[in-house]
Structure 1
Amino acid sequence: MAHTHSHNGHSHSHDHGHIHGPITNINTAFVVGIVLNLAFVVIEAGVGLYSKSLALLTDAGHNLSDVASLALALLAFRLAKVKPTHTFTYGYRKTTILVALLNAVILLIAIGGIGYEAAMRLNHPQPIEGREVAIVAGVGILINSLTAFLFFRSQHTDLNIKGAYLHMAADALVSLGVVFAGLLISATGWYWVDSITSFIVIVVILIGTWGLLRDSIILSLDGVPKDINLDEVESKALQIKGIHKIHHIHIWAISTTENALTAHLVLDSNTDFEAADQIKKQLRHELEHMNIQHATFETELVTQECTSRQC
């Protein structure tokens, strides 16, 4: 019975388009977010060109990068539904992880751009039409906050949703800072306030982005997802009657919503084929409650346990 391989009782759910939250269809949330932010980019760029405001034109360019990030995330969700092929046996589900990593990088690049612009203006303050900038930024707060709300309750279910939420929340903070700076500049003429506010916003964005970058890098390198504990998996397996030992465990993310596991199960010497099948079914059921949807086991008896070199 050594080295049997079975998927009996292995059921999966692959509904990538529906995630619990304020909007059940996450595709709709992305489309609404893209449309709202693209409209704001057009308005902001138009006002910036009319008023010759470099601040508004720069922010419009930053918001355009966020629209691109939302579009990439939506594309990843669509690709995740593509059926497996002979070349891509998991389909394109991994693109959800790659897009999450790309979004984290885009956020860091945006932070660098904002920081550079803030530093230049701190050394060489430029006259700004504070009230006009504050009004447009106020509109930005409403649009970015509304878009962020679309992803708020679902941000912990998927890295791409978390990335979208961070992008929009960061933009809302930037807009809030611009409103504050615009009103203060309008009242006092202190143009350096614009740069100081930008630096404060950068720190806030960086704190949120760091977690997204760390998690997406771990998943890209097939690391164990953060919500899964390897020791707990081993402990749960050993609680099942008939499993003497579990080793050669590998856990990785197939996508930002699906995880997989392979392992060797060392069973009691008197275990027959039918009993082994029941043990695997029970363990798969337990693993599904630990957010591991795909589990593949290789079984062996205590008397036939493979060596570390064989494994």
Structure 2
Amino acid sequence: MEEHVHEHAHCGEHDHHHEHNHHDDHEEHHAHGHHHHHHHDHSHVITSLNRAFIIGITLNIVYVLAEAIAGLGFHSLGLLSDAGHNLSDVVSLVLALIAFKLSGSLATRKYTYGYKKSTILISLLNALILGVAVILIIVESVRKIINPEPLQGEVVSIVAAIGVVINGVTAYLFMKDQKRDLNVKGAYMHMLADTLVSIGVVVSGILIYFTGWYVVDPIIGLVVAVVIIFASWELLRDSLRLALDGVPAHVDYDKVVSVMEKAEGVRGVHHLHIWAISTTENALTAHVLVEELDEMEHIKEHLKEELKEVGVSHATLEFETPQSKCNGKCHE
């Protein structure tokens, strides 16, 4: 953010001072109006997501406890390690819920965006946790291929089948929202990965029960690991991109430029920056070249409406004329 302050200073603070103050007042008013509308629109989404998190966390905690008790009762290391793995799911769900709650926090003097970006950090963390889980599955599978271990096919299958239902139901709760919110996608991917692992365990349990080939278990483990890698790659890529202030995947940079340049009265756009404030909100700053500053208010209103259509909810625009000192000479 310091970069933008530097830009304004560099471009002749005195020339723009009055205009900039006016612009700020207006933006604050505009943002307030937008916030109210936004809040009204999305309150039902927030309620349903909240419910999804609570149900998901509760179901998974109950399942972890049941697995741990069964594991101790049957002296099954497999069940105990699966309980440990499912505990990491509970952690990822709790983290996503915390980020979801924090993203609604208000701005403070220290955190002028509130804690919105926590959703991006948690998405990245969840992608990394998934990566570690996959590595553990691969290591364990390779070890079991070298030294196959006997398994109680029926018990393992029954417990894993319950896991398919619980993880599947939890994944389904997030299915709708995961497309538009990367933070929710993080929780969803964990649940989906676990559903796949559980399906793999059920299949291998049945095959072992009928054939006695213990090597089936680690082979299916490897197949599942590969599927998870492909499925979660997008989560890692997108969360890294947002963490590095890259242009969000669903925002088309060229389209944003063309929408702005086609607007009536706009002669050109430069120093365009687009980044994510959270996993659901995007911001933009740009210098807009206009013929006359008289039309500035009208052009600004029009541009902000157009930008909302292409996925940018917070736009800060600096206007300049061909005569102004800043034209093309500012440092990005």
The aligned residue for residue 310 of structure 1 is: 330
Q: 1:236 to 1:111 in 2, by over 3 A?
A: same
Which of 216, 226, 244 matches 1:221?
A: 244
Q: Select 2:307's aligned residue among 281, 287, 300.
A: 287
- Tell whether 2:5 aligns with 1:12: no
Q: Paired residue for 2:180?
A: 157
Is the 1:19–1:26 Cα contact (8 Å) retained in structure 2?
no
Asked whether 1:34 is paired with 2:57, we answer yes
Cα distance, 1:17 vs structure 2: 11
Q: 1:16 to 1:203 in 2, by over 3 A?
A: farther
CA distance in 1, matches of 2:150, 2:258: 64
Structure 2 counterpart SS, 1:25: helix
1:127 matched to 2:147? The reply is: no
Q: CA deviation at 1:15?
A: 4.0
Shift of 1:227: 0.7
Q: Residue 146 and residue 220 in structure 1: after superposition, are their counterparts in 2 closer, same or farther (change >3 A)?
A: same
The aligned residue for residue 277 of structure 1 is 297
Q: Say which SS state the counterpart of residue 266 (structure 1) adopts.
A: strand
The whole-number CA distance in structure 2 between the counterparts of 1:17 and 1:162 is: 21
1:111 aligns with 2:134: yes
In percent, how many aligned pairs have the same letter?
A: 49
**Residue 248 of structure 1 is aligned with which of 235, 248, 271?**
271
User: What residue in structure 2 maps to residue 91 of structure 1?
Assistant: 114
CA distance in structure 1 between the aligned counterparts of 2:192 and 2:285, rounded to whole angstroms: 38
Where is the helix percentage greater, Structure 1 or Structure 2? Answer: 2
Letter in 2 for 1:12: H
Q: Does the residue aligned with 1:127 lie in a helix, a strand or coil?
A: coil
Question: Which protein, 1 or 2, shows the higher relative CO under an 8 Å CA cutoff with sep ≥ 6?
Answer: 1
The answer as to 2:239 corresponding to 1:239 is no
Instruction: State whether structure 2 residue 226 is matched by structure 1 residue 203.
Output: yes
Query: What is the aligned residue count?
Result: 307
Distance 1:187 1:17 in 2: 54
Using the TM superposition, name which of 8-17 and 58-67 deviates more. 8-17
Where do residues 122-201 of structure 1 align in structure 2 (5 Å cutoff)? 122-201=145-224
Out of 72, 75, 99, the position equivalent to 1:52 is 75
Structure 1, unpaired ranges of 5+: none
Kindly state the Cα deviation for residue 24 of structure 1 after the two structures are TM-superposed.
4.9
Q: What amino acid is aligned across from residue 58 of structure 2 in structure 1?
A: V
Checking the alignment, whether the CA contact within 8 Å between 1:266 and 1:305 is kept in structure 2 is: no
Counterpart contact for 1:242–1:279, Cα < 8 Å: yes
Select between 53-62 and 299-308 the one with higher mean Cα deviation: 299-308
What is the CA-CA distance between 1:307 and the residue it aligns to? Answer: 4.6
Structure 2 CA distance for aligned equivalents of residues 85 and 286 of structure 1:
29
Q: Report the secondary structure of 1:12's partner residue.
A: helix
- 2:9 — aligned with what? none
User: Within 2, Cα distance between the matches of 1:229 and 1:18?
Assistant: 24
Q: Deviations over 1:220-265 (max 9, x none)?
A: 0000001111111111011111111110000000000000000001
Give the Cα separation in 1 of the matches to 2:328 and 2:88. Answer: 49
The TM-score, its normalising length taken from structure 2, stands at: 0.88
Deviation at 1:41, TM superposition (A): 0.6
Range with greater deviation from structure 2 (256-265 or 6-15): 6-15
Separation in structure 1 between the aligned mates of residue 190 and residue 321 of structure 2, nearest angstrom: 52
Partners of 2:120 and 2:239 within 8 A in 1: yes
For 1:234, the aligned partner's letter is V
Judge conservation of contact 2:320–2:327 (CA < 8 Å) in 1: no
* Alignment CA distance shift 1:244-1:18 (3 Å): closer
Distance in 2 (alpha carbons) for counterparts of 1:258 and 1:47: 44
Amino acid at match of 2:259: K
Q: Which residue of 2 aligns with 1:101?
A: 124
1:72 paired residue among 95, 109, 128: 95
Q: Which runs of 5+ in 2 are unaligned?
A: 1-13
User: How far, CA to CA, are the matches of 1:16 and 1:155 in structure 2?
Assistant: 21
CA distance in structure 2 between the aligned counterparts of 1:200 and 1:295, rounded to whole angstroms = 45
Q: Compared with structure 1, are the counterparts of its residues 15 and 125 closer, same or farther at alpha carbon in structure 2 (3 Å cutoff)? A: farther
What TM-score, normalized to structure 1? 0.94
User: Structure 1 residue 271: deviation in Å?
Assistant: 3.6
CA drift of 1:18 comes to: 4.5
Q: What RMSD, in angstroms, separates the aligned Cα atoms of the two structures? A: 1.9
